[in-house]
Structure 1
Amino acid sequence: MAKAKFILKEPKSKSDTLIYMLYNYQYKRFKYSTGEKINPKFWNATNQRIRETKQFAEYPEFNTRLDKLENGIKNAFRRLLNDGIQPNNTILKQALEAELSDNILRPTKKSFFNFIKDFIEESRLNKKSGTITVYNTTFKYLKEYAQKINKPLDFENINLEFYNTYLSYLTKEKELSTNTVGKHIKTIKTFLNEATDRELNTNLEFKKTKFKTLREDSDSIYLSIDELKKIEKLDLKDKAKLEKVRDLFLIGCYTGLRFSDFTQIKPENIVNNRSMLQIRTQKTGERVSIPLHQTVRDILEKYDNELPKSISNQKMNEYIKDVVEAAEINHKIETTITKGGKIEKKPIEKFNLVTTHTARRSFATNLYLADIPSISIMKITGHKTERSFLKYVRVTQEQNADKLLNHPFFK
């Protein structure tokens, strides 16, 4: 028997989320965005309607609109059967929208740029500031491109022709690196996926394989155990700021945590008689348990488990280079980057390539070289597949050969 139900797009959201209608018929499922949004705290999942509460005084009108939509889908389905038309999702959607009056539940037509603008404002409620910055930068380039070609960009003209000409614009005119261009394409896809979910966009050209996110392997480096020991042995007592930066950085190198996590370690995260660190990561929300390396124990004891307050990630990236330079880790590494469509190679002293993220990469690589199983390291780093993990570790051909020499197969 055909049946309609209403669900929230993000039932655990702390802010307003879309309401979808699901209609099961003839072993098929039809999904339709109502265009309505509600905070989940006002939603009654059992009744599939807004709760009757003074906190949301307009609940009667809101529920009436949902009732009308439910009646609309039932009437549309019944009419198709009566007319001898075999329903499918496309036909059912057309019949439903013909059934509905123009003033209810149908999403208002928005332009691509107006949607992006509103989506960025919505995202400020539940996205990190770094994500908002990425969204705004991508939006800025899109507006500049539209102005350059003297033609509006809307959903219907985001196609493979746009993709190719926009890549050329970002690469040759803006002289962006391949990975930066890839980040902008990825963000455009984020915008389009969201607009498609809200039924504001029906153009699916962006889902084609040729509309791809570009990426090239970066020259990310790691610090070996010997290099970490040189950093640890530095006498920085007369340079308090650099000493604190060094100590926090080493915590990251021996825990594998991101900057946002290793700078937020509290005494309550140290458990099992100071042998284990347990923390819920900010990016994924997962709880990880990490055995404490002796270096981490020594640093925690130095600060009585109250680690120094961190400076910003940007400033720490600046100061950690001074620390690594002081440890005389300054041999040159050839770096390669594709910028403006051209490959640029240049030697850079290693300390200039070190950032806070080097700590996490160093942790993963050093544990891998120590023959700790990948699956155990991935439990800490959060990589979902071994393939993605192995792209993350920085192991040279020589190191890989040395590792294999100790394998029983080569004995």
Structure 2
Amino acid sequence: MKKVLANFKLKEPNASSPTLIYLKSYFNYQRFTYSTGRKIHPQYWHEGSQRPITKRLDLIKKEIKTNPGIDLQNELSVIESMIKQGTHENPTFLTEMQNITTELNRYEDEFISSHEYLNRQKEVVTPDKLKVLLDEVFNKQKPADNAVDGFYYRFEEFLQSRMKTNSILTIKKFNTLRTRLQEFEKNNRYKISFESIDLVFYDKFRDFLLTQKNKRTEEVEGLLNDTISKYFSTLKTFMQWSMDRNYHTNNLFQHNQFSAKKRAKNEIVTLTEEELFIIYKLDLSDNPKLERVRDLFCFATFTGQRWSDIEMFRKEDIKGDSWEFISHKTKKLIKIPFKKFIRPALDILTKYDYQLPVISQQKFNDYIKDVGEKAGINEPLEIIRFSGKELIRIKKPKYAFISSHMARRTCITILLEKGIPPTTVMQLSGHSDLKTLMKYENTGPDALADALEKT
């Protein structure tokens, strides 16, 4: 049987403002049109790939890598220029484009799955039947009069509001929670509503997650306790958001038992100062892509800032020999002096004329591991985690643990090892309390002896 195709088209491709994106298909001599609800300005849409221009940029770079002789430089320059323009006009432009791409991929997957489902059921596939199935998946049913019955409808509202401000990875986290809840609801025959989120739900959903396949590590089948804790934390964020808007009155999610058990402090992986400078000085002139990724990582490590704030860096925020800005997450004023350990960050800014390279956090986390491997950061490491009561040993070379989060943790650890008071480090990191700061700290076993030598 020929596979059905999902095509994405703009409602008004010549519009001068954002326009709706439609999913369209043709099968059994029938036309199917379905609104995704997402909008995009036509100038940022690539008709060929049927995705935002950021997706086409990724495809061009991949084609150039696999076929060095292909001439795509002109198109690459045009798209990069448009992305730079979009980012200049809207600091969250890249995140919004990535969010749209993720949503369209999901629409495509669900459309094809729904079509295959109807075929398996020996039903005649019609546009109306497909629409019903997609409406169920994307929660486009009319809202119930009683807000308690509108859990998924309100979740979609919550998600749409967060797409305007949160990163692609955060949006993915919310989407994953919704998918898990729907799988749990189906497998356990437990109806999800605002009222049903109680301690009975907590026990059943936790047990369900402990049976789910773990894609992050081969050492265990079920999800790790830390991952389960994040699911509940994300759910509580939504429940609080919806209660604040009077969509429900159920406060059982605030119960002290409504959380996953976690170790008081998991061991974390950070780079030593020596390893950091090995990466910083690594010659990557033959691979500009990895060079840009390396420079972004080093800038994040020397400054100790969150990815969201680095994404929104502006040249106008440089005041003399400091970077001053309002943190996207905490809304606090942060001042980063370019001195001593932090000084190389200014050199990186100068290298790029104060316009840091643009890359999604997801791609960054993939490529930075390649940088670490090239730098020889391959010390074998073992960390301990738990899945329920089962102890899990995760063994990988150190470069496999490198990510955007490691940059911030490494900075905090190095500054503390240098003897800078924690309260002073908190001014740079933006943390409000010492307990939170110390979750990022990873001083080695010789730290005490080294400190005593300096006294």
State TM-score, norm by structure 1. 0.66
* Separation (CA, whole Å) in 2 of partners of 1:383 and 1:279: 15
**Ranges in structure 1 where 5+ consecutive residues have no aligned partner:** 1-105
Q: How does 1:148-159 map to 2 (within 5 A)?
A: 148-159=187-198
Structural mapping, 1:11-410, within 5 Å: 110-125=149-164, 127-174=166-213, 175-216=222-263, 217-272=265-320, 275-292=321-338, 293-303=342-352, 305-339=353-387, 342-404=390-452, 406-407=454-455
Deviation digits for residues 238-269 of structure 1 (CA, Å, limit 9, x no counterpart): 22222222222211111111223334434333
Shift of 1:401: 4.2
What is the CA–CA distance in structure 1 between the aligned matches of 2:168 and 2:365, rounded to whole Å?
18
Do the aligned partners of residues 107 and 257 (structure 1) sit closer, same or farther apart at CA in structure 2, a change above 3 Å counting?
Answer: same
> For residues 396 and 165 of structure 2, what CA distance do their matches in structure 1 show?
38
Please give the alpha-carbon distance, in whole angstroms, between the structure 2 residues aligned to 1:402 and 1:228.
20
SS, match of residue 259 in structure 2: coil
CA contact (8 A) 1:280 1:286 kept: yes
Q: Structure 2 CA distance, aligned partners of 1:144 and 1:193?
A: 22
* Aligned residues of 2:155 and 2:238 also touching (Cα < 8 A): yes
After TM superposition, give the deviation of residue 370 of structure 1 in Å. Answer: 0.6
Aligned length: 299
CA distance in 1, matches of 2:166, 2:275: 36
List alignment gaps of at least 5 residues for structure 2.
1-144, 214-221
Q: Judging changes above 3 Å, is the alpha-carbon distance between structure 1 residues 403 and 300 closer, same or farther for their aligned structure 2 residues?
A: same
Determine the C-alpha separation between the residues in 1 that align with 2:316 and 2:154. Answer: 43
CA distance in 2, matches of 1:301, 1:122: 36
Classify 1:404/1:323 alpha carbon distance in 2 versus 1 (closer, same or farther; 3 Å).
Answer: same
Q: Would the aligned equivalents of 1:107 and 1:199 in 2 still touch at CA under 8 Å?
A: no
Q: CA deviation at 1:282?
A: 2.5
State the secondary structure of the residue aligned to 2:149.
coil
Q: Deviations over 1:113-164 (max 9, x none)?
A: 3433343344445554443332222122112111122242223332212211
> In 2, are the aligned partners of 1:110 and 1:200 still within 8 Å (CA)?
no
Q: Deviations over 1:345-396 (max 9, x none)?
A: 1321111111122111111111111111111111111111112111211113
CA spacing shift, 1:351–1:302, aligned 2, 3 Å = same
SS in 2 for 1:172: coil
Counterpart of 2:96? none
Larger Rg, first or second structure (1 or 2): 1
Return 363-372 or 214-223, whichever deviates more: 214-223
Mapped contact 2:385–2:394 kept (Cα < 8 A): no
Corresponding residue SS for 1:152? coil
**1:253-298 superposed Cα distances (whole Å, 9 cap, x missing partner):** 11111223334434333332xx222233322333311111332233
Cα gap change, 1:234 to 1:118, in 2 (>3 Å): closer
Identity of counterpart residues, as a percentage? 32
Tell me by how many angstroms 1:341 deviates.
5.3
| TM, length-normalised to structure 2 | 0.60
> Hey, what does 2:115 align to over in structure 1?
none
When residues 403 and 156 of structure 1 are mapped into structure 2, their CA distance, relative to the original with a 3 A threshold, is same
What one-letter code is carried by the residue in structure 1 that aligns with 2:374? A
Cα distance in 2 for residues equivalent to 1:244 and 1:122: 32
Q: Name the SS for the 2:152 alignment partner.
A: helix
Provide Cα deviations, 1:87-122, integer angstroms capped at 9, x if missing partner.
Answer: xxxxxxxxxxxxxxxxxxx97553433433343344
SS in 1 for 2:271: coil
8 Å contact 1:220–1:353 — kept in the other structure?
no
Check the 8 A contact 1:246/1:320 in 2, yes or no.
Answer: yes
Q: CA RMSD in A?
A: 2.5
CA distance in 2, matches of 1:208, 1:153: 18
Matched residues in 2 for 1:182 and 1:223: separation? 26
Q: CA deviation at 1:213?
A: 4.0
Cα offset, 1:189, TM superposition: 1.7
* Greater alpha carbon shift after TM alignment, 163-172 vs 224-233: 224-233
Q: Is the 8 A contact 1:263 1:309 kept in 2?
A: no
Distance 2:160 2:351 in 1: 44
- Inter-partner Cα distance in structure 2 for 1:121 and 1:199: 18
What letter is aligned with 1:149? Answer: N
Native 8 Å contact 2:169 2:361 kept in 1: no
